[in-house]
Structure 1
Amino acid sequence: MKHADVKRVGARTKSLMFATASLVLAVATTGCGSECVDAFDCRNDNGPAPAGQQWTCAAEQCETRPIQQLPEEDAGTEPDAGTEPDAGTEPDAGTEPDAGTEPDAGTEPDAGTEPDAGTEPDAGTEPDAGTEPDAGTEPDAGTEPDAGTEPDAGTGHPCEAAPHDPVLGTLQLQAGFEAAGSAPMPDDVLAVAVTPGPTYTVYAVRGSMQAELYSLGVWPDLTPSAEPLFNVLAPEDRGATSGIFPGGFLVHGAERMLAGYTKSGGAGLVSLYDITTPGNSSYVNAPGNYSAAAFTADATSAFLVNGMGLSDVEGFGVYALVTSANPVASEKVASLPETAGGSGFSAVANNGVSMFGFVVPPDYTNVAYAVAPSVVSAALSSGTPFALDAQTEIDVGSDFNAAATFGDGVAVKRGAYNATYEFVTTDVSRYALSEGATPGAVIVGERTPVLSFADQCTYVTQMTHLGSDLLVGIEDMNGERLVRIRAVP
């Protein structure tokens, strides 16, 4: 989708999203008018907030702020934004305003502190506060309910009482799959990618406004590098305090890493890091870049970017950044239908079958199509884009807000947006993809559940692939970690 975190938005913000890239850039450059009215405008115009972040509209300017997790110490009384109801997903209902901040039932004023009917003046003096009404007796602010005593206001939240597996949390692994190791993950990771085996080096984009590329080490014994390898932001955008929105993707292909970011108004760039020769790293204009995947066929290697343009070509579609060309070349490989409301998710299975998506108005639900490698190769060699909606549709059966390679298929994180625009995940499922007997045809397998969500106490923040396995980022009250999931042989 163009912007996955908010889709049921007003006509005013939708019209901004659909404006031509040149008009959007012109408005952004002149600073004409306010940037936003509410957080929905920010998400609609600039894309999803980075993992662990949420959009806010402050002084008519879009900003990202950390999503507040379940507090270690709770205000203890109802209502508490960190307690029920809490969607537990991105963005989190337990964010500002939070009952866990001032005023706090467990802080001043506390009926169990001074003045206290049991202190001076003494309840035993005349008039005797120990008689009725006795502030030290019923009702006793120092007793039930007492935010600072037992029963503790920090209890009662369903996530605190729910059993948490040390690896999967409250997620439930489905038949046919197993967890094959895990490793702690830093809490500021926006996106993860892994090099091909047999030695799997894990890379990550870390930070928020100042996103940088780091090595996390070799799986599974991760030791994050102290210094960044590369700045995801081009020199002219570094040091900005607002209006920079790092993307939620990082892709490895042909000894390069590709990340991206957008700016207020929809402008954006993709960052191409050369692992072998860092001095050859570069930045390429890519307005509205939303997702990307790596594609290889014969001697051709390319990053496929789903967005609003690449280099000097604009318009919603899928674009190729051909890294096997010298110099690196850009061209459009797929066109979205006129009915598309914006860009969507991308992944390429290990057998070369691609998945590209877009969103469909009026609900802005994500849809996905499978594309044979021969179709992508033909578009690359001829320079003629194919129509994405003419390819084989993947019947996901619901909305989804993430996708990744999983062996000879793709995994999607399914669910739906609730009334407050929070994505409530139901499951992570896999779809096998293979080429059909007819040239250009694709066979889509049945949905195979991988992980199910019994609640929203544990959620998936990342999805990428590690060889033929799925690597997911998991976060809950026990912290963040990467978990490798593979099909049982």
Structure 2
Amino acid sequence: MMTDMKKAGFPDRAPWALCALLLGVLATGCEPECVDQFDCARLGSPGVDKRYVCESNQCVPRDIPSTPVPDGGTSADAGTDAGTDAGTDAGTDAGITCASAPHDAKLGTLQLQAGFTAAESAPLPAGIGAIAPLTRSATPALYGLNSDESIYALGTWPNIVASTTPLYPIVAPADQGATRFLSGFLASDGVRVTAGYTLADVSGKLAIYDTSSPGASTYVSSTGNYSVVGVEGAFLINSLNIEGVSGSTPAIYALKTGSTPFQGTTLATFPAAARFSGYNALASNGIAAFGYAEGYNNYLHAVAPATYTAALSAGTSVNLTGADTPEFFKSDDVLGASGFGAGVAILRGFYDGENYSARPRSIVRVPLTLTGSGNTAVVVGTAEPVLDVADSCTRVVLTAPLGEDLLLGVQDKNGRRLVRLQLRTQ
């Protein structure tokens, strides 16, 4: 069924869905292909005007009803529209016509909560579905993941430019004709940026573009790569494997980039019950969030930089069941996670039952601080609301860390833009 399908653009990703695909291939016939319509989201689209539905535990292609479904969140084609229609609902939302509803110049109809403020904004070029800033400068250079499966330079914040020259293809030449699923992330270790994809046979690769020496750019095998964050000298990869490590198990893997050839190692292991990959994030104080999924719940654990850097140096792994790696969030509505100052911003929402697009509904931030001897312990603060999606007139299309702040991708009748959110000073 999958041999004729190529998934391009930016898929809306649920860890349990993507990894059910991966584990289903590895453990043939152990589980039904689907239980409900959400399980079929991993397959993307079977073709124009069609969708997969779950019938008798099988994902079957069916015609999409002629009446469109309003979509208030990011969609699988959110990175491909030209911004002309802004992806908004042409009808009404709770009695409000989006075309005539009041829209803030930065946030549209999104509702920012107390304690946060919206600073400058900049246009978000059409086709860009994920961004990664190199933040070692006061004017951070930004790179973008485009729906044409390439990495682009986007200028420096806030002077965003719509480059027309791809820097590096995400998909390796040997895989260009194969069925593939873009992972949708873009991450940087301060010098390099990486994006990934998975093939139908579960194998996959990371494309690693070197911004200082483009000729040193390369591809590294990574089975089921799902989310990645970068620290100085390494990428921390939430996947089933990394080149140089045997086996295939959901875990956090590290790719050390300080010397060539790059070295892969297992960095953190999940609790025994965890079966699926999840989300990674990195706070500005270096605390890493490592996530996994079991059933429909996503879990996030906090790991101090002293803990994971020691494991990186020694070639050992961190056990996420320890007292020094506290679980700080658990929910069945996690759509993504990004560093936001000394904490992690969590995008919450659900997946549409008709067209399987993600519908973000809110962002919350969990403060994370270091304490203890050698700053090896993490104190988890109280989750605080950042933003609410009030209606379908304005979409949240991406989030990304920018120093102490959070870049928010917004799309509405006025187009696509990036907005810099900041903690309000007291």
Q: Distance in 2 between matches of 1:376 and 1:156?
A: 49
- Aligned 1:66-465 pairs, distance under 5 A: 81-82=67-68, 86-91=70-75, 156=92, 158=96, 159-196=98-135, 197-207=137-147, 210-238=148-176, 240=177, 243-296=179-232, 301-313=233-245, 314-361=248-295, 364-390=296-322, 391-395=325-329, 399-417=333-351, 419-420=353-354, 422-438=357-373, 440-465=376-401
8 Å Cα contact 1:62/1:243 also seen in 2: no
Structure 1 position 386, deviation (Å)? 1.7
8 Å Cα contact 2:143/2:151 also seen in 1: yes
8 Å Cα contact 1:39/1:56 also seen in 2: no
Q: Distance in 1 between matches of 2:20 and 2:187?
A: 31
Structure 1 position 396, deviation (Å)? 5.1
AA aligned opposite 2:215? G
Q: Which residue of 2 aligns with 1:57?
A: 46
Q: Distance in 2 between matches of 1:322 and 1:6?
A: 27
Helix, strand or coil for the counterpart of 1:271?
Answer: strand
Helix, strand or coil for the counterpart of 2:406?
Answer: strand
Instruction: Give the structure-2-normalised TM-score.
Output: 0.80
The verdict on how the C-alpha distance between 1:156 and 1:356 changes in structure 2, with shifts beyond 3 A counting, is: closer
Q: Per chain length, whose mean CA-contact separation is higher, i.e. which structure has more relative contact order (CA < 8 Å, sep 6+)?
A: 2
Q: Which residue of 2 aligns with 1:144?
A: none
Q: Which residue of 2 aligns with 1:473?
A: 409
Q: Distance in 2 between matches of 1:349 and 1:477?
A: 32
AA aligned opposite 2:143? Y
Helix, strand or coil for the counterpart of 1:315?
Answer: coil
The verdict on how the C-alpha distance between 1:201 and 1:354 changes in structure 2, with shifts beyond 3 A counting, is: same
AA aligned opposite 1:344? G
Q: Distance in 1 between matches of 2:19 and 2:208?
A: 31
Which residue, out of 412, 420, 424, partners 1:484? 420
8 Å Cα contact 2:14/2:335 also seen in 1: no
Q: Distance in 1 between matches of 2:139 and 2:205?
A: 30
Q: Distance in 2 between matches of 1:418 and 1:227?
A: 34
Q: Distance in 2 between matches of 1:419 and 1:474?
A: 23
Report Cα offsets for 1:245-292 as digits up to 9, x if no partner: 222111121311111111223221011111111111110001110000
Instruction: Give the structure-1-normalised TM-score.
Output: 0.70
Structure 1 position 337, deviation (Å)? 2.2
Structure 1 position 445, deviation (Å)? 1.1
Structure 1 position 14, deviation (Å)? 7.8
Report Cα offsets for 1:114-158 as digits up to 9, x if no partner: xxxxxxxxxxxxxxxxxxxxxxxxxxxxxxxxxxxxxxx965454
The verdict on how the C-alpha distance between 1:37 and 1:454 changes in structure 2, with shifts beyond 3 A counting, is: closer
The verdict on how the C-alpha distance between 1:455 and 1:396 changes in structure 2, with shifts beyond 3 A counting, is: farther
Give the gaps of 5 or more residues in structure 2: 1-10, 53-64, 79-88
Alignment of 1:18 with 2:18, yes or no, is: no
The verdict on how the C-alpha distance between 1:323 and 1:155 changes in structure 2, with shifts beyond 3 A counting, is: closer
Helix, strand or coil for the counterpart of 1:236?
Answer: helix
Structure 1 position 62, deviation (Å)? 9.7
8 Å Cα contact 1:371/1:392 also seen in 2: yes
Helix, strand or coil for the counterpart of 2:165?
Answer: coil
Helix, strand or coil for the counterpart of 2:174?
Answer: helix
Helix, strand or coil for the counterpart of 1:404?
Answer: strand
Structure 1 position 36, deviation (Å)? 10
Structure 1 position 343, deviation (Å)? 0.5
Supply the RMSD in Å over aligned alpha carbons.
3.3
8 Å Cα contact 1:37/1:57 also seen in 2: no
Report Cα offsets for 1:279-328 as digits up to 9, x if no partner: 111100011100001124xxxx2110001110042321001011113332
Helix, strand or coil for the counterpart of 2:215?
Answer: helix
Q: Distance in 2 between matches of 1:334 and 1:20?
A: 24
The verdict on how the C-alpha distance between 1:39 and 1:261 changes in structure 2, with shifts beyond 3 A counting, is: farther
8 Å Cα contact 2:235/2:254 also seen in 1: yes
Which structure would you say has the larger Rg? 1
Structure 1 position 488, deviation (Å)? 2.0
